[in-house]
Chains A and B, each alone.
Chain A
Amino acid sequence: DAGITQSPRYKITETGRQVTLMCHQTWSHSYMFWYRQDLGHGLRLIYYSAAADITDKGEVPDGYVVSRSKTENFPLTLESATRSQTSVYFCASTGGETQYFGPGTRLLVL
């Protein structure tokens, strides 16, 4: 199906483990984004990418790594998960003026 998908939808991990969240879009949009959503903070931009092999930091990039080897994929890696990274993570891509969001990944770090 066309659209933007995220996997896994739910993840429980332990402090110190590496976790990768996947994001895939079928529109060939140039711009892709990763946000985290926490109560009281709304959505905060972690990283974004203007095209394959071009990425840049957002508001809260510390502890996260991204890559974009292909236009359609934009994985987000937590190199060593911490409890403060417990959150809901949303991937998005931009087509024209419209930002399309994936369904989110709920991550719990114990």
Chain B
Amino acid sequence: TQLLEQSPQFLSIQEGENLTVYCNSSSVFSSLQWYRQEPGEGPVLLVTVVTGGEVKKLKRLTFQFGDARKDSSLHITAAQPGDTGLYLCAGARNFNKFYFGSGTKLNVKP
């Protein structure tokens, strides 16, 4: 059983559409991270959220950490083909032990 459940697993949308990816758990984490992974490469960190209720923006990407620090969401506005990839969330315990969700594979069609 995954400690972190990500949904949806797959998402195929047209360029310009908005989307939200969810990362849920029954456990509390000291921080939560979002990564993007390209085929054949390792994950690359997009953002870390630490405080319950925290919202961070990275250009067209908005990340939110739940008030209870158990869940998070990633919202992409006006998706572009360059956003295509595997998005992973990871919860940290004691800031140094990370538990990953199973990932959301996003395909943005031109």
Interface residues of A (CB under 8 A from B): 31, 33, 35, 40-45, 48, 50, 58-59, 90, 92, 94, 97-104
- Asked whether B48 lies within 8 Å of A98 as measured between CB atoms, the reply is yes
Q: How far is the CB of B48 from chain A (nearest CB, A)?
A: 5
Cβ of B42 and Cβ of A101 under 8 Å apart?
yes
A-B pairs with beta carbons under 8 A, tally: 52
Within 8 Å by CB of A92, from B42, B88, B101, lies: B42
| Alpha-carbon separation in the docked complex, A99 to B96 (Å) | 9
Contact B100 A44 (CB under 8 A): yes
- Least CB distance, A31 to chain B, in whole angstroms: 5
Residues of B within 8 A of A (CB): 2, 6, 31, 33, 40-45, 48, 50, 88, 90, 95-103
Question: With A31-B96, A90-B42, A98-B48 given, is the CB distance from A40 to B33 under 8 Å?
Answer: no
Q: Which 4 A-B pairs have the closest CB atoms?
A: A101-B42, A43-B100, A42-B102, A42-B100
A49 to B62, CA, bound (A): 32
Known: A41-B2, A42-B103. A98 touches B98 (CB 8 A): no
Is B44's CB under 8 angstroms from A101's CB? yes
Question: In the complex, A59→B101 CA distance in Å?
Answer: 13
Give bound CA distance, A38 to B103, whole Å: 11
The answer to whether A41 and B96 touch across the interface, beta carbons within 8 angstroms, is: no
- Residues from chain B with Cβ under 8 Å of A59 in the complex: 99
Give the docked Cα–Cα distance between A104 and B99 (Å). Answer: 18
Q: In the complex, A44→B102 CA distance in Å? A: 9
CB neighbours (8 Å) of B88 from chain A are 42-43
Give the distance in Å from the alpha carbon of A94 to the alpha carbon of B95 in the complex.
Answer: 10
* A96, chain B: closest CB distance, angstroms: 9
Q: Measured between C-beta atoms, what is the minimum distance from B41 to chain A in Å?
A: 6
Q: Which partner residue on chain B sits nearest A102 by CB separation? A: B42
The chain B residue sitting closest to A31, CB to CB, is: B96
A selection of 13 A-B contacts at a CB cut-off of 8 Å is A35-B100, A42-B2, A42-B101, A42-B102, A43-B43, A45-B98, A45-B99, A59-B99, A92-B42, A99-B33, A100-B45, A101-B42, A103-B41
